[in-house]
Each structure stands twice: as structure tokens, then as C-alpha cells.
């Protein structure tokens, strides 16, 4: 069996390269499946979400490429959909009308700047610090609690197939030392979220995007035991923004998962999510 990747971005949003570039690279890597999941449109300007007027072309292109490469690799049509109360979610008509194969649901935006700009937790460092101050008076604990509250609200109301980078609120901790991820209040937020994920049957992606950059996984290995205890299905995704990153850190992370007691990942096969044996050496990148 080869790797799969259900979370990645192309030039319709903030990724680099055409959809077909990713598919051809996935074939080169002998992957079993690739999901195309550009950032879905939101009802305000960002420099990384797809424009709403480009969505029809995106959906059509994925369908055309599905047909073109049928028999060589499974290609799936998806979007990474933000959850912003009253503005956008997986149940918005824009998303339901897209007839996606699956949805990656993520929380990025949790506050607003003084000028009304929506503040994302994965903004560059200086923007992150400004947004934290202007949205939460600099209180990272309240920001983190709000982040997980929104995740649970998303899961409860508009459960996606896969939850994207579940603990990304910690992203800047490595540089800014914002809070102690071992404090009980924080662990409680993560565990409450995982328990709801289990209840609603959502898949947790192990997001490897930052693994080689700063050692980060989302969620981190410190949460693997709880995920295993709850028997939550997992999949390994790289959140690729370039075709060369399709299996970024997969082999290393698979080994970590095996050591943590995981024996299977979850793959979309013939329209249903199925458990597949986890092997640490599916693909070796030359």
C-alpha cells in the first residue's frame, strides 16, 4: 500500500502549483490517493482563501482530473472549510452545493482586530501578537479556550469528515513561549475536544506540515495516547502547499504512531472511510 494525503493546497488558494502538479507528484510517489482541499472561500478578504468566483472552475478542474487519472490514482474533491459562526461552515450552501467527496474542517479565525480584520491563529508572529492583544487583551489562555470552544461548536453543529490541525493554537509557542501545554486547563480543553470528536465520528489528521521546520505535529505526540485510548480514527496529512511536500515527514510520523500503539490509519476507499494497516516504510522519498 502507498501513502494517501487528504489535505493540501494549490494555486487556487495559497498553495504553489497547479492541481495536476500535485496529482503527477502523487503518482510518482506511488501514492494510493490524493485529496485536493483548497481553502474554501470566506465572506471577507484574505490573501490565502480561494475567491468565491473561482470555486466553480476549481470544482470542474478536479472532476476533469479525476477522470483523466482514473486507474492510476484516486483523486478526491474537497475543501478545507473554516468554521466561523454565522459566516461559514461545512453546512453553508456554498459548501453543500459543491458536492465534495469529504470535508476538512478547521478553525483559524477566533477574534477580530480593532479595525475589524478577522484574526487567525496561524498568522505571522507580529500579526499574531497584535491580534492576541486586540482580540483577547493579550490573554493567551482565553484565546486558547475560545479556539477549542469553536472547534467543539464546529464538531457539534457541522461535523466535518476530518478535523484539520486540531491543536494549531500552539503554533507560535515554540518561538514565543506563550503558555505551558502541560497545564491542566489546556490538557482539559484538548481532551474535551477529542471526546466530542470520538462521539461524532470525526477523523483526526496527524498534520505534518511543520514537522521538518520546527518539530511540530498537529496534534502533538503528547496527545497520541488519548487518541488511542478513545479509538479515534486517524489519517496522516501534510497540509502540502507545494507538491514536493506531499509526504513530508510521513515515514517518521508513522514510526511515532506505531510506537504509540497505532496499527491502522483511515483511507477513503470506494466512497467510505476504511481502516488500513499502518506501515512506516510505505514510501521512501529519494
Q: What is the pLDDT of residue 281?
A: 63
C-alpha cell read off for 176: 514565543
Using the predicted structure, report yes or no on whether residue 286 has a pLDDT greater than 60: no
pLDDT, average across residues 189-193: 98
34 pLDDT exceeds 80?
Answer: yes
Would you say residue 286 lies in a domain?
Answer: no
| Whether pLDDT at 78 is above 80 | yes
Phi-psi bin for 106: left (phi > 0), alpha (psi -120 to 50), beta? Answer: beta
161 found inside a domain: yes
On average, the pLDDT of the chain sits at 96
- Res 61 pLDDT > 60: yes
**Proportion of the chain above pLDDT 70, given as a percent:** 97
Q: What is the pLDDT of residues 192-251, one digit of tens each?
A: 999 999 999 999 999 999 999 888 899 999 999 999 999 999 999 999 999 999 999 999
Domain-embedded: residue 283 = no
Report the predicted TM-score, pTM, of the whole model to 2 decimal places. Answer: 0.96
In-domain check, residue 95 = yes
CA 257 – CA 247 distance, rounded (Å): 15
Pairing of strands 102-106, 109-112: unpaired
pLDDT, position 137: 98
73 within domain boundaries: yes
What percentage of the chain has pLDDT greater than the value 90? 94
Domain ranges, residue 123: 4-277
Examine the pLDDT at 186 and tell me if it is beyond 80: yes
Is 282 part of any domain?
A: no
Cα gap 85→30, rounded to integer Å: 40
- Closest residue by Cα to residue 42 from 119, 140, 101: 119
Specify the residue for cell string 453553508: 92
CB 193 within 8 A of CB 166: yes
Which residue, 55, 56, 78, 59, is CA-closest to 8? 78
**HEC profile of 90-103:** CCCHHHHCCCCCEE
Residue 85 in grid coordinates? 459562526
Structurally, the chain folds into a number of domains equal to 1
- Confidence bin at 285 (pLDDT 50/70/90): very low
Average pLDDT over every residue of 158-163: 98
Measure the CA–CA gap between 202 and 193, rounded to whole angstroms: 11
* Residue 46 belongs to domain with CATH number: 3.20.20.140
User: What was the pLDDT predicted at 283?
Assistant: 40
Does residue 141 have a pLDDT over 70?
A: yes
Residue 284 pLDDT more than 50? no
Distances (CA, A) of 258 to 195, 226, 239, 276, 280: 22, 15, 21, 13, 8
Instruction: Give the tens place of pLDDT for each residue, 92-103.
Output: 999 999 999 999
Query: How much is the pLDDT for 215?
Result: 87
Report pLDDT for 279: 84
User: Does 8 map to a domain?
Assistant: yes
Residue 57 included in any domain: yes
- The yes-or-no verdict on residue 81 having pLDDT over 70 is yes
Amino acid at each position: 500500500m502507498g501513502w494517501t494525503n487528504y489535505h493540501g493546497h494549490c494555486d487556487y488558494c495559497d498553495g504553489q502549483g497547479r492541481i495536476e502538479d500535485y496529482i503527477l507528484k502523487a503518482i510518482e510517489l506511488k501514492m494510493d490517493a490524493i485529496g485536493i482541499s483548497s481553502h474554501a472561500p470566506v465572506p471577507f478578504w484574505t490573501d490565502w482563501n480561494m475567491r468565491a468566483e473561482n470555486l466553480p472552475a476549481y470544482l470542474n478542474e478536479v472532476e476533469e482530473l479525476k477522470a483523466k487519472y482514473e486507474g492510476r490514482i484516486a483523486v478526491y474533491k474537497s475543501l478545507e472549510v473554516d468554521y466561523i459562526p454565522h459566516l461559514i461552515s461545512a453546512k453553508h450552501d456554498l459548501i453543500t452545493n459543491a458536492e465534495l467527496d469529504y470535508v476538512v474542517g478547521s478553525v483559524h479565525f477566533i477574534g477580530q482586530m480593532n479595525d475589524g480584520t478577522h484574526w487567525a491563529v496561524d498568522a505571522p508572529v507580529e500579526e499574531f501578537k497584535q491580534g492576541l492583544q486586540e482580540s483577547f487583551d493579550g490573554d493567551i489562555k482565553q484565546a486558547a479556550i475560545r479556539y477549542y470552544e469553536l472547534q467543539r461548536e464546529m464538531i457539534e453543529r457541522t461535523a466535518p469528515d476530518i478535523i484539520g490541525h486540531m491543536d494549531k493554537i500552539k503554533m507560535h509557542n515554540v518561538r514565543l513561549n506563550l503558555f505551558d501545554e502541560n497545564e491542566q486547563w489546556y490538557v482539559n480543553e484538548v481532551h474535551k475536544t477529542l471526546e466530542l470528536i470520538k462521539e461524532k465520528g470525526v477523523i483526526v489528521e496527524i498534520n505534518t506540515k511543520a514537522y521538518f521546520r520546527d518539530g511540530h505535529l498537529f496534534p502533538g505526540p503528547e496527545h497520541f495516547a488519548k487518541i488511542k485510548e478513545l479509538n479515534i480514527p486517524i489519517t496522516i496529512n501534510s497540509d502540502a502547499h507545494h507538491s514536493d511536500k506531499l509526504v513530508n515527514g510521513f515515514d517518521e510520523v508513522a514510526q511515532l504512531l506505531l510506537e504509540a500503539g497505532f496499527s491502522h490509519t483511515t483511507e477513503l476507499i470506494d466512497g467510505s472511510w476504511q481502516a488500513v494497516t499502518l506501515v512506516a516504510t510505505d514510501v521512501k522519498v529519494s
